[in-house]
């Protein structure tokens, strides 16, 4: 069920007219549907009900505390890649034994915080990281439970910036070095090797790359068993895509059935790290038209949100659907939807048919729940937008709009100036 629907020509989020939210919150702002988030999580989680697994939300996709709290309340875990994401996950109530820490550049201080918090597992991505983690665990008088992240050399049909499973990417240990790295880890007194991990990319709409990666992990797992390793966790990461335009990603049940078929009767706990597939279509960005202008070759619709609020079109040339908050019954026009940021790359849409928006009209940029606020910046000294969540007939601001004072928080003009 879609919870962003028109009723009498007005776009609603669940049972709340979006225009009513604008009256109280202003623009721009990110808007999330509680019903959509919970439904997506339940569907994904339910697809693996008959298999030993743990669903860990990818915090990098959207790290708002209220959103993380939903997953905590539904028994989910967290896939984190920084100390800040660990702090957020714990603050939201996600149990530390459901937190898995990935990332190629974990600092010693972040490792200490994670060990002190007693997280479930580190996904180690290099030999030097392994040695550093062992040293820190030794100094703290504890053991670090780890999986080793393998780079499975799997082809994926996605943007190169979000492909993570090739040798030219910075992530993971090569297939050739995997067994030697496991043996090296076993020799370290403060390392407890319990898992095998991989992540092949993001916004994948084909199951085959996941299955290919899983087959390669199973081959390594077979060798590790011969070497008497007790591997109890297999982390397949995230990356399952969503529909932005005309993509046809697999349903989570189809995905789960295919994985279970390849995994067979392996006695292991499967770790899944969905992000975009849960939150991507559960959020939108609401913005208001400031001006329109035309040149000899172009029509421009200028809105008050910018690339610093949603950078995906600029960074990845990504598609986001555009909808009016109040239906416009007029002939479509071909235009660019652009923001106020001082960059030519500040656009949401180029040369696309859309309603003939005019100054004051409200625009919904769809599928903005993932990698929008979490990648937002203050470029051009623009305060970041508010975040709002709707649940049935109620809505709440879950992050206040930044102020100009927020922009300079922590900055100091030294006495010598």
Q: Report whether 28 contacts 287 (CB < 8 A).
A: yes
Q: Are residues 103 and 245 both part of a single domain?
A: yes
Q: Are residues 349 and 210 both part of a single domain?
A: no
Run of H or E residues at 394: strand 394-399
Q: Are residues 264 and 293 both part of a single domain?
A: no
Q: How many domains does the chain have?
A: 2
Distance separating alpha carbons of residues 315 and 62, to the nearest angstrom: 17
Q: What is the pTM of this model?
A: 0.94
Residue 125 inside a domain? The answer is yes
Q: What is the domain range of residue 47?
A: 34-278
Strand segments, DSSP code E, in 139-282 are 144-151, 173-174, 191-197, 233-237, 269-272
Residue 416 inside a domain? The answer is no
Distance separating alpha carbons of residues 416 and 278, to the nearest angstrom: 51
Position 153 scores a pLDDT of: 74
Cβ partners under 8 Å of residue 378, min gap 6: 308, 384, 402, 407
Handedness of CA 388, 389, 392, 394 (dihedral sign): negative
Q: Which two tokens stand for residue 396?
A: 């709440």
Q: Are residues 60 and 136 both part of a single domain?
A: yes
Of the residues 278, 300, 321, the one at which a domain ends: 278
Among the options 56, 142, 198, 342, which is catalytic? 342
Position 161 scores a pLDDT of: 41
Q: What CATH number is given to the structural domain containing 131?
A: 3.20.20.10
Distance separating alpha carbons of residues 44 and 276, to the nearest angstrom: 12
Is position 342 annotated as part of the catalytic site? yes
User: Of the candidates 244, 171, 231, 230, which has an alpha carbon nearest to the alpha carbon of residue 201?
Assistant: 171
Residue 417 inside a domain? The answer is no
Give me the average pLDDT of each 10-residue run along the chain (417 residues).
Answer: 93 98 98 98 94 95 98 98 98 98 96 98 95 98 96 60 47 87 96 93 83 90 95 91 89 91 89 95 98 95 98 94 97 97 96 97 98 97 98 98 98 97
Give the ranges where 280-400 is alpha helix by DSSP (H): 312-316
Residue 47 CA: distances (Å) to CA of 53, 207, 213, 252, 391: 11, 15, 20, 6, 24
Q: Are residues 99 and 235 both part of a single domain?
A: yes
Q: Are residues 93 and 235 both part of a single domain?
A: yes
Residue 308 inside a domain? The answer is yes
Position 291 scores a pLDDT of: 98
Q: Are residues 259 and 330 both part of a single domain?
A: no
Residue 382 inside a domain? The answer is yes
The whole-angstrom distance between residue 30's C-alpha and the CA centroid of its chain comes to 15
Strand segments, DSSP code E, in 298-393 are 299-303, 322-324, 333-338, 347-354, 362-365, 386-391
Residue 316 inside a domain? The answer is yes
Run of H or E residues at 226: helix 208-226
User: Of the candidates 18, 14, 25, which has an alpha carbon nearest to the alpha carbon of residue 385?
Assistant: 25
Q: Are residues 158 and 64 both part of a single domain?
A: yes
Q: Are residues 66 and 215 both part of a single domain?
A: yes
Task: State the DSSP string of 48-116.
Answer: TTTS-EEEEEEGGG---HHHHHHHHHTT-EEEE-SHHHHHHHHHTT--GGGEEE--TT--HHHHHHHHH
Q: Are residues 204 and 351 both part of a single domain?
A: no
Of the residues 250, 278, 306, the one at which a domain ends: 278
Q: Are residues 202 and 320 both part of a single domain?
A: no
Residue 58 inside a domain? The answer is yes
Q: Report whether 239 contacts 200 (CB < 8 A).
A: yes
Residue 413 inside a domain? The answer is no
Of the residues 243, 278, 313, the one at which a domain ends: 278
Q: Are residues 196 and 154 both part of a single domain?
A: yes
Q: What CATH number is given to the structural domain containing 400?
A: 2.40.37.10
């Amino acid at each position: 069920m879609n919870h962003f629907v028109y009723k009498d020509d007005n776009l609603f989020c669940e049972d709340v007219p979006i225009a009513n939210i604008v009256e109280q919150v202003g623009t721009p702002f990110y808007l999330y549907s509680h019903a959509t988030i919970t439904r997506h999580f339940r569907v994904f989680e339910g697809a693996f009900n008959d298999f030993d697994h743990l669903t860990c939300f990818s915090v990098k996709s959207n790290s708002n505390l209220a959103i993380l709290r939903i997953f905590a309340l539904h028994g989910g875990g967290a896939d984190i890649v920084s100390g800040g994401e660990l702090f957020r996950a714990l603050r939201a109530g996600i149990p530390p034994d459901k937190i898995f820490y990935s990332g190629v550049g974990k600092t010693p201080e972040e490792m200490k915080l994670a060990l002190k918090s007693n997280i479930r597992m580190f996904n180690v991505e290099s030999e030097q990281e392994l040695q550093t983690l062992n040293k820190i665990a030794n100094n703290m008088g504890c053991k670090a439970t780890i999986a080793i992240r393998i780079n499975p050399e799997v082809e994926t049909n996605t943007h190169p910036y979000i492909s993570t499973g090739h040798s030219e990417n910075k992530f993971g240990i090569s297939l050739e070095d995997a067994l030697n790295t496991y043996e090296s880890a076993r020799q370290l007194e403060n390392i407890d090797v319990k898992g095998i991990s991989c992540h092949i990319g993001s916004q994948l709409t084909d199951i085959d790359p996941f299955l290919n990666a899983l087959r390669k992990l199973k081959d390594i797992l077979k060798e590790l068993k011969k070497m008497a390793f007790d591997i109890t966790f297999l982390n397949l990461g995230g990356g399952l895509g969503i529909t932005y335009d005309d993509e046809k990603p697999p349903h989570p049940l189809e995905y789960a059935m295919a994985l279970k078929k390849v995994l067979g009767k392996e006695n292991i706990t499967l770790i899944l790290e969905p992000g975009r597939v849960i939150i991507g279509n559960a959020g939108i960005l609401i913005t208001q038209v400031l001006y329109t202008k035309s040149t000899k070759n172009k029509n421009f619709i200028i809105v008050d949100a910018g690339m610093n609020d949603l950078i995906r079109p600029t960074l990845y040339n990504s598609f986001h659907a555009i909808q009016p908050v109040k239906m416009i019954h007029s002939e479509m026009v071909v235009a660019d939807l652009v923001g106020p940021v001082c960059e030519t790359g500040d656009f949401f849409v180029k040369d696309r048919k859309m309603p003939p928006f005019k100054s004051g009209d409200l625009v919904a940029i769809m599928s903005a729940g993932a990698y929008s606020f979490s990648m937002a910046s203050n470029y051009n000294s623009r305060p970041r937008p508010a975040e709002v969540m709707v649940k049935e007939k109620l809505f709440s601001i879950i992050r206040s709009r930044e102020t100009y004072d927020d922009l300079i928080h922590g900055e100091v003009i030294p006495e010598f100036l």
